[in-house]
Structure 1
């Protein structure tokens, strides 16, 4: 139990420790992360452009891929520029308000991505299991509503834990053992009773992550059953190839997300969480457009066509 007889002083800033243990390698980390960030933004913008201008990609699947790329532009942009700033100038301080804002946008984009990955799985289910009704069900208006709905849910649901965090009292400790304002490092600094907030966030994380993962799992169970009923191996291979990229992205995203958030007690692995969080926050946004480009023949053909036109 915490001792609540404390000196009633209110802090004016936090310090994001980031990767201070690697301070001697700060400039090298800066270069590596900067290159990854630039490539991430460039490739995701490129995916959005080719989906927009190439008429053969004007299909629901590519519409959602473009939506995912849009998220992957902003998701790392919430945390990476601040990390680069701290690495090159050793500026570690951030105001409490700035910290809460960063928390809000980081988790809003993360939740929106959860919902969008689930929507993409449903899209593949309809395309493979109900092909004759695919264009009727996944019409442009429905696709737009689903995409906007994932954003709306992401930015509205995260408001509740964000409000709970902003109502906590931070009175003495200021160093956040992370490179952005994550939930558990912030909770450890609070002088308030955080038991109800921690339980609420755990239930929130379980509902979002397992809810979306359940939709994805059920979609692929039905997809697998349908594919196995196909008469030829070439038909099965072609159908499965349309899902392969999405499955790889889902595995990368949920493999790390479940480990980071679906545990009753995070305090013993906070430092490990900081390292692993690099994958969904920095690495995955870089890999997603590469995966969709390399494993999708239509996207590769569109890229070749654009390159040839530019040449």
Structure 2
């Protein structure tokens, strides 16, 4: 297999209202874009063309684009933004824009990708996949890499479910995030300071969908609230469990079963036992600590009106 990436020079500065497809195609020659290619575009130029440039304080716009705080370290905020993406500063960017202005992410990156794909098909008569990218950090790793925040006409996940290796072992990784891999590979050719906001990856036509099939988009790569094992930063998780606001439960995930809850209480030094699939008992001496552990695991204490000395817990129901 051979992959190639072409990142053309010559794309002009994009301004609100510009015809983005026309600007990109002008920089791509007839041989630079053929059936089965993947056209990759930075979210910055998509946002500029769509008029997502705003004046004002960056912190105010971060607040406006934030759905909830995930973690904070000094002035740095990692948030889940309105698109469901978890990233620094909600994706609000103050670079490559006039002082005092910021660029917000596209309102709907998947829709932006669909529109660009349709324009390419209409004007060049070729069937391509489209990826809209942005830069994000990674947990446990230094540095940043580009990821797909919008996609159209592309299988964003490549399924390996049921396949086996040469030794007969079933593959553990069943769905490589190929849209993210494409975004990262292409960024190597674009360069952060290269003024090359688009590129074409060739060699994975098997991932490009048929004309008229746009696929699920990059939104399919976003885990639902509560499905991620790291819904909060370490410090923020402690604060949320202590504060115990009902609206903060979802990122902790679904309630665990009684056995797992009892084990969690035990790891916190709290003796507990289950008397039924949905009832756990512990003593009242460490009620505050038990309630904190319970909140993080989808359980809550119940008031029975009894005068006994134990504390009863049940899983939270939707």
- Please give the TM-score of this superposition, normalised by the length of structure 2: 0.23
Higher strand share: 2
Indicate the structure (1 or 2) with the bigger Cα radius of gyration.
2
Q: What TM-score, normalized to structure 1?
A: 0.23
Bigger relative contact order (CA 8 A; separation at least 6): 1
